[in-house]
């Protein structure tokens, strides 16, 4: 009877919504994702689209018979009237909570959560596992934590771990942020390969509600920081172990920031701001050197809570928020389509009703929105339109060489890729370390930036915007650079007498060890923010070169590249 009542509510809400926004009207009635017998559902949910279009939902359920709280994974394929249980994800201590989930571009489902004997136990563990092509990885304990202190049961900090947030970069490196009660401190765990580190948080002191995103270039954080009063802070660092953080006070609000990245790796942040008696949902995005001005997304004045954001690209995204009203909750969203936000601001999600906490939103590649929330008796999914399920294309990479030298060309071919239920319409190549994007079924590339093991990724896109991904590691050999120094001197010859930079170097003995027969040296120069340009060449017996083409007031940097009898040369920095 409860679900029949909800269907009526959904129909009424959908009629209202059509009147509000004719561009967002093909709503699907609420779908029961989970309502297993003997289980009650509470707290946090997570939702993600698989590249094929399938919706995955992770949630916490309380098994009343076993008196256990566990994490479960469900999926909805569009073929049945409700979701399908994939399996119980957790299998450990009595109290499992705070799930978060990422579905990576290759279709792997990544899930992280917290475990403890009880919610208030000092020993808390952060767990992680994956699901790929029907196979589950073992459960990994990312970190056992000692979280001292006593929770206040009358307060909102009912568990020691709160706001756990997971992201995974394209290399499979894992990043988990969370906060600990009662001290209110944000923490970050990173897992590069198999090595897990608890990193220093960018700022000390009281901090809350962290969010993390990781791209190929940077790891990004957003959180609520106490600096006299609360403000929203952002930090990023190079996606390299041990890189330094760059911190920015985003300002313009104080509550619960969430972050997502666009196709350029730029962050988009949504959070809440208290203005007089109203709490608004606000938004900013990274503009390359700073954040944009604050944009207020809400027209309805309310006490918004638990903001979420899902970014497809820099012109298409959704920001959602919930409003608690005693025995019921209202679920709002603002959808930016083709660079235009809904002019009416936040509008209600059709059919969402009841009293729920921590709803979530996701946006598919083909612009279908998924809203998920839980009630005590079930987890519900609301879709903006019927799912489009697509068999993904298969990407295949071939290359004319498996090993190349630095500054040598190689040709990649993706014509062996296929799509069983459509056609491939685009081939996109990414040389990961060089951050170089190319298009075409076949491309030629010169490795003149990175060397050693360089990852090359092919993404094939079909006529339904499905994506297949393959990667190939190319061994790029490199001669060794001659260590050089330089200084300004008076340079005298029969032709001129003027100041110049004199560059001096010594042969790099590593070239002899590896059997490279050095026949000459090339001298390269760059200005502070420029690229290296060749300015001279001398025989292997030379140890110095005079650059007299310098300009007053400019700073120059030099590199001496060794060249062997096969024409291979060293990079500018391989010492």
Q: Nearest CA to 401 among 335, 350, 353, 447?
A: 447
pLDDT score for 380: 95
Tell me if 235 is assigned to some domain.
Answer: yes
Domain co-membership, 489 together with 460? no
Note down the domain range covering 538.
484-564
Question: pLDDT tens digit string along 210-236?
Answer: 999 999 899 999 999 999 899 999 999
Q: Which residues pair with 452 in a beta bridge?
A: 476
pLDDT given at position 280? 87
Query: Do 452 and 499 sit in the same domain of this protein?
Result: no
Distance CA 381, CA 349 (A): 11
Phi, psi of 90 (to 5 degrees): -85, 155
DSSP code of 359? -
Q: Does 12 reside within a domain?
A: no
Q: Which long-range contacts (CB under 8 A, 24 or more apart) does 335-340 make?
A: 335/24, 335/369, 337/23, 337/367, 339/315
Domain co-membership, 488 together with 473: no
Domain co-membership, 313 together with 250: yes
Number of domains in the chain: 3
Do 473 and 491 lie in one domain? The reply is no
Same domain, 204 and 301: yes
Of 293, 317, 341, the last residue of a domain is 317
Measure the N-to-C terminal CA separation of the chain; round to a whole number of Å. Answer: 73
> 96 in a domain, yes or no?
no
**The tokens 């059509």 sit on which residue?**
18
Given 477, 509, 539, which residue is the final one in a domain?
477
The values of phi and psi at residue 7, to 5°, are -65, -40
Same domain, 493 and 420: no
CB–CB of 341/334 below 8 Å?
A: yes
pLDDT value of residue 129:
98
**Do 204 and 309 lie in a common domain?**
yes
Is residue 38 included in any domain, yes or no? no
Q: Does 427 share its domain with 488? A: no
Identify whether 183 is part of a domain: no
Nearest CA to 488 among 473, 501, 475? 501
Instruction: Give the domain-ending residue among 289, 317, 345.
Output: 317
CATH, residue 423:
2.60.40.10
Answer whether residue 446 is part of any domain. yes
Which residues of the chain register pLDDT less than 50?
1-24
pLDDT at 43: 83
The pLDDT value given to residue 302: 66
Together in a domain, 463 and 504 = no
Q: Are residues 442 and 502 in the same domain?
A: no
The verdict on 304 and 204 lying in the same domain is yes
Residue 97 in any domain: the answer is: no
């Amino acid at each position: 009877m409860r679900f029949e009542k909800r269907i009526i509510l959904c129909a009424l809400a959908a009629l209202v919504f059509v009147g509000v926004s004719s561009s967002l009207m093909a709503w699907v009635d609420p779908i029961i994702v989970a309502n297993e017998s003997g289980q009650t559902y509470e707290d946090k949910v997570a939702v993600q689209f698989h590249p094929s279009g399938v919706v995955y939902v992770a949630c916490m359920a309380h098994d009343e018979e076993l008196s256990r709280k566990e994490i479960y994974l469900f999926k909805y394929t569009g073929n049945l009237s409700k979701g399908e249980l994939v399996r119980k994800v957790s299998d450990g201590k009595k109290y499992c909570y705070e799930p978060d989930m990422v579905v990576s571009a290759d279709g792997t489902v990544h899930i992280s959560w917290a475990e403890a004997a009880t919610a208030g136990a000092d020993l808390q563990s952060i767990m992680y596992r994956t699901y790929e092509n029907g196979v589950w990885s073992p459960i990994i304990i990312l970190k056992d934590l000692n979280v001292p202190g006593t929770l206040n049961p009358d307060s909102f900090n009912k568990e020691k771990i709160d706001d756990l947030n997971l992201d995974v970069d394209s290399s499979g490196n894992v990043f988990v942020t969370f906060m600990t009660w009662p001290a209110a401190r944000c923490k970050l765990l990173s897992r590069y390969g198999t090595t897990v580190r608890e990193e220093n948080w960018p700022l000390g002191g009281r901090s809350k509600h962290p969010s993390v995103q990781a791209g190929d270039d940077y790891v990004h954080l957003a959180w609520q920081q106490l600096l006299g009063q609360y403000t929203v802070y952002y930090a990023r660092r190079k996606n390299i172990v041990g890189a330094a953080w760059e911190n920015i006070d985003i300002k313009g609000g104080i509550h619960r920031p969430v972050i997502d990245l666009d196709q350029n790796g730029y962050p988009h942040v949504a959070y809440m701001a208290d203005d007089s008696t109203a709490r608004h949902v606000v938004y900013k995005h990274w503009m390359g050197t700073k954040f944009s001005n604050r944009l207020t997304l809400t027209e309805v004045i309310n006490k918004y809570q638990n903001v979420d954001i899902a970014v497809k690209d820099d012109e298409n995204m959704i920001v959602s928020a919930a409003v608690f009203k005693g025995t019921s909750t209202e679920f709002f969203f603002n959808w930016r389509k083709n660079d235009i936000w809904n002019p009416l601001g936040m509008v209600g999600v059709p059919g969402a009703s009841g009293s729920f906490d921590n709803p979530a939103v996701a946006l598919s590649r083909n612009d279908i929105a998924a809203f998920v929330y839980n009630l005590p008796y079930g987890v519900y999914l609301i879709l903006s339109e019927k799912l489009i399920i697509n068999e993904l294309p298969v990407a295949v990479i071939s290359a004319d060489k498996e090993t190349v030298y630095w500054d040598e060309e190689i040709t990649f071919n993706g014509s062996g890729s296929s799509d069983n239920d459509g056609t491939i319409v685009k081939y996109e190549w990414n040389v990961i370390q060089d951050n170089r994007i190319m298009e075409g079924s076949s491309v030629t590339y010169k490795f003149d930036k990175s060397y050693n093991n360089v990852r090359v990724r092919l993404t094939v896109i079909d006529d339904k915007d499905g994506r297949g991904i393959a990667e190939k590691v190319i061994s790029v050999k490199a001669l060794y650079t001659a260590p050089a120094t330089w200084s300004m001197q008076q340079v005298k010859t029969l032709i001129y007498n003027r100041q110049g930079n004199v560059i001096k170097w010594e042969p790099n003995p590593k070239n002899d060890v590896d059997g490279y027969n050095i026949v000459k040296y090339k001298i390269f120069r760059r200005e502070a923010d420029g690229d290296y340009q060749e300015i001279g060449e001398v025989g292997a017996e030379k140890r110095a070169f005079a650059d007299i083409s310098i300009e007053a007031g400019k700073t120059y940097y030099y590199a001496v590249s060794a060249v062997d009898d096969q024409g291979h040369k060293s990079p500018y920095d391989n010492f």
